[in-house]
Amino acid sequence: MRIPRLVIAAPASGSGKTTVATGLMAALTARGLDVSPHKVGPDYIDPGYHALAAGRPGRNLDPWLTSEDLVAPLFLHGARGADVAVIEGVMGLFDGAEAAGGGGFASTAHVARLLDAPVVLVVDASSAGRSVAALVHGFVTYDSTVRIGGVILNRVGSDRHERICRAAIEETGLPVLGVLRRHADAGTPSRHLGLIPAAERSADAVRTVERLGALVAESCDLQGLLALAHGAPPIAADPWDPAVGLPDGVAGARPVVAVAGGPAFTFGYTENDELLNAAGAEVVPFDPLRDEALPEGTRGVVIGGGFPEMYAPELAANEPLRRQVAAFGGPIYAECAGLLYLARTLDGAPMCGVVDAEARMTSRLTLGYREAVAVADSPVTRTGERFRGHEFHRTAVVSGPGAEPAWRWPGSGPEGFAGRNRLASYLHLHWAGSPEMASRFAGACR
């Protein structure tokens, strides 16, 4: 299958990948193209801006979470019908997950190779002149299996600065496909876990994306970028199908699975909902900040990640919903922010009390891939099974006596809470890597 595609990468974090990738998605969409947005790695926040820019779900591509074999099928599934796909990288081009086996595994370069996609390198030129060419030359020659097709210079200070950098890079044989000047309003606001999610910023996020689209349209060679994308060869794989690997002929009524959303719960992979639908469930969103009851007929509840710590007073004030969740007897699956919401308290504010735990903000960032072993049965796991996930939080949970943990992994003690009708933990999971989770959860709801 042929999908024109580009990977937007950089030598290091903070070079401007998100600015360029989001702006390029918005600029191409404004031209009338159907753009498929993708993000390398487990990050949830950038895809929210991508979705605003392109009008399609932002989808993640992560060989650790889903396996190498699924990267191309998941890409083709997400990009079906698109005119072009833009894939934003993670960290520096060759930076992978050492815990995932080293050697650049799960890096942007790894995903670019799996998709046979050309790479555009975004270079921060703010503190250099001709030296940017040596940097680019090093990245081009470091790994010949990764095809760097052009450079976009970011944070250029003046016309003279641009001429110096452009001439030096063109000596390497690579085209300069864009030059972005220093703009104070070119970024997006951040806080303790990175960018503020687009869903929390509403109209302001839309204006930010429009600004980025205009900036890239003015500063980059869109035709040159499209020509590079159209040079990508066909991908010899079939699109991922959420129904493959699930039991055939699911019988019975479609149970309603209430999935938390709204500003406090913005982290989730689109494929998880698609798998639940394929497993015979009816996915219905709800907002714990505003909805005073679960959707009518709810048989199961999924509460993903987000920033409940930023909304603890408002979540606490929605007492009718907290009481209903506390009394709910059906299956509950909760990740990270969902775990905090199910605790007794969050920074002293009352939460649902489904799990015997107190949660609080800390100054310590916990971040990384995990290979977890289930230590108890739950609606989605069986004791002894292994799952690949990731952690990303600055909170801590202190459990009460007698709690039954959900997981163990190397370097960690017992983690999370499990039981016949619940699993609540810090571990984020991409269900495409373990589709049985969806069929089990839907079956437990049914």
For 248, the token pair is 């055939």
Enter the DSSP assignment of 15: S
Cβ proximity of 407 and 414 under 8 Å: yes
Q: How far apart are CA 316 and CA 257, in angstroms?
A: 23
**CA terminus-to-terminus distance, the chain:** 37
Helices (H), 297-380: 312-317, 319-327, 337-342
Active-site residues: which are they?
A: 336
Q: How far apart are CA 43 and CA 139, in angstroms?
A: 24
Q: Is 85 helix (H, G, I), strand (E, B) or coil?
A: strand
302 pairs with which residues across the strands? 259, 333
For 268, the token pair is 């989730």
For 140, the token pair is 């081009």
E strand spans, 41-163: 59-61, 84-88, 119-124, 148-156
Q: How far apart are CA 84 and CA 438, in angstroms?
A: 30
